[in-house]
Amino acid sequence: MNEYVSNHGSYCTISQCNNLCFDLLTPVEYELLKSKMLVINFKAGEILCKQGSFASHIIILREGLVKLFMENNSEKLVIQILPPNNILGLSSCFEGSSVFYYSAQAYMNSTAQIIDMGVFMSILNSNARFASKMLSLLAEHTVITYGRFFCLTQKQTYGRFADVLLCLANRIYKADKFPLQLSRKDLAEIAGMSIESVARILTRFKNDALIEITSDYVEILDKKRLTEISHKG
């Protein structure tokens, strides 16, 4: 089995684009960017950008935790969960496009830098290394989306949920024991299943001593078996 396949799980939800490389900008470009940049605080539950609305800016999440999702009248799909130091809106950077293709909502109080799209695009068109870096970030993000796409379409509930737990531990909280800031509803949404299924899987994982879960934290007890479950699907 090749390395990538065996890593589907860890590619599942979280981007690792931490280095945003404003150091690639010239002083003039940096000043220009700063002059068109705002810092905004979002409260838990607030919307950072809305699917279908005019993509007038690029957003860099600096603190907090955010979900990207698509929705229509009845359905909702979480595309990705974004920890701090990730950029949001790159997929709207193409000619003829001027809208966001997903919404972003804060799970908790969050801080973001908001950069004017026009300025961002003009810098892209003048600074090759910066543009390359942004291509690189979008590529990385896209690969993560592929992994999640595979996970949600090919694996069944236990495998999907094992993936979610591993992602939370490995990518978001970077610890095997982490605070439980997400509700069963949030988890269900991320894992693409019903709330009841989440409850059932949690009880099962708990009984099998794979995890410990209380009202305020989760601890992964048997990462090896959880990874096996993720791979089996």
Nearest partner of 65 among 89, 79, 44, 94, judged by Cα:
44
Among 36, 62, 184, 223, binds DNA (CB under 7 A): 184
215 binds DNA (CB under 7 A): yes
Closer residue to DNA (CB): 129 or 185: 185
205 interacts with, out of DNA, a copy of itself, none, CB within 5 to 8 A per kind: none
Nearest partner of 67 among 109, 107, 119, judged by Cα:
107
Buried b or exposed e, range 107-118, using 16+ CB within 10 angstroms: beebebbbbbbe
Category of 85 on φ-ψ map: left (φ > 0), alpha (ψ -120 to 50) or beta: left
Nearest partner of 192 among 111, 104, 100, 77, judged by Cα:
77
Closer residue to DNA (CB): 184 or 231: 184
Least distance to DNA from the beta carbon of 157, Å?
Answer: 4
108 binds DNA (CB under 7 A): no
Least distance to a copy of itself from the beta carbon of 37, Å?
Answer: 20
Q: How far is CA 46 from the centre of its chain?
A: 16
Backbone angles phi, psi at 156, to 5 degrees: -100, 180
Name the one range near DNA by CB under 7 A: 35-43, 65-73, 131-139, 193-201.
193-201
192 binds DNA (CB under 7 A): yes
Closer residue to DNA (CB): 31 or 212: 212
Residue 90: CA atoms inside 13 Å, Cβ hemisphere, count? 21
Closer residue to DNA (CB): 109 or 122: 109
Token pair recorded at residue 200: 């059932």
Return d(Cα 126, Cα 57) in angstroms, integer: 18
128 binds DNA (CB under 7 A): no
194 binds DNA (CB under 7 A): yes
Binding mask 154-183 for DNA (x = CB under 7 A): --xxx------------------------x
80 binds DNA (CB under 7 A): no
> Which residues would be at the binding site for DNA (CB under 7 A)?
156-158, 183-185, 192-200, 202-203, 213, 215-216
